[in-house]
Amino acid sequence: MPVSSATAPVRPSRPARPDDPIKRVFDVVLATVLLVLTLPLMAAVAVAVAVGLGRPVLFRQCRIGLDDRPFELVKFRTMRAPHGTLTSDADRITPLGSWLRATSLDELPTLWNVVRGDMSLVGPRPLLPEYLGRYSPTQARRHEVRPGVTGLAQVRGRNGLDWDDKLALDVEYVTHRSFRLDVSILAATVRTVLRREGISAAGSATAPEFLGGRR
């Protein structure tokens, strides 16, 4: 999953935080526990996806993580493969897929990305490689930390926010990150998921493409 050096900016060294090692240990322990506890649920979801959408059950896609490094994100599939008239997200997503997204059950396999070290439980959501050259210098700071399964933007509006607001919250998290903030975001994530808030952007089945930042 190479990323062109022309699109991946050179980034200065980022200052370490005293609780960064604690965060990593917390991520690995909690993600491992959650993987074990949710194995029966993931097995049931995998069967439902196999029956409703066919194989493969998992959706794999290159995303950008810490220091602009690419990795393979793993989630449950929620859409049909594009073919014929099924080209837009709205056409391809199924009722099962909509429910998996609304409940965030499609994200369960992402815990494996956390254990591997590609991601953290909390951080800016990992985005596509083609977005690298579209960030402003400030927005590019989102890659100074590992991307997260959830983050500040996800508990402040999720896909209901426009891109500039989401990326501003990503940078706010990077600037003020702490173990205490992570715990508060995880708690707020539970409330957001239960209330099924901000699942999709207005007029979109998921979220529109990021075309470039104004900030």
Q: Give the C-alpha separation, 105 to 200, whole Å.
A: 15
pLDDT > 80? residue 200: no
Q: Is residue 93 part of a domain?
A: yes
Residues 179 and 21 sit within 8 Å (Cβ to Cβ)? no
Residues 84-140 have pLDDT tens digits of 555 566 667 888 888 888 889 999 999 999 999 999 999 999 999 999 999 999 999
Q: Can you give the pLDDT at residue 141?
A: 94
Q: Give the C-alpha separation, 133 to 157, whole Å.
A: 25
Q: Give the C-alpha separation, 64 to 134, whole Å.
A: 13
Q: Is residue 180 part of a domain?
A: yes
Q: Is residue 152 part of a domain?
A: yes
Q: Give the C-alpha separation, 68 to 146, whole Å.
A: 10
Q: 44: domain range? A: 20-195
Q: Can you give the pLDDT at residue 211?
A: 86
Q: Give the C-alpha separation, 120 to 150, whole Å.
A: 9
Total structural domains within the chain: 1
Q: Identify the burial level of 51 via C-beta atoms within 10 angstroms of its C-beta, where 0-12 means exposed, 13-18 middle and 19 or more buried.
A: exposed
70-76 vs 58-64, strand pairing mode: antiparallel
Name the residue among 164, 117, 165 with its Cα closest to residue 145.
117
Q: Is residue 85 part of a domain?
A: yes
Q: Is residue 206 part of a domain?
A: no
Residues 65 and 146 sit within 8 Å (Cβ to Cβ)? yes
Residues 23-55 have pLDDT tens digits of 999 999 999 999 999 999 999 999 999 998 888
Rounded percentage of the chain residues whose pLDDT exceeds 70: 80
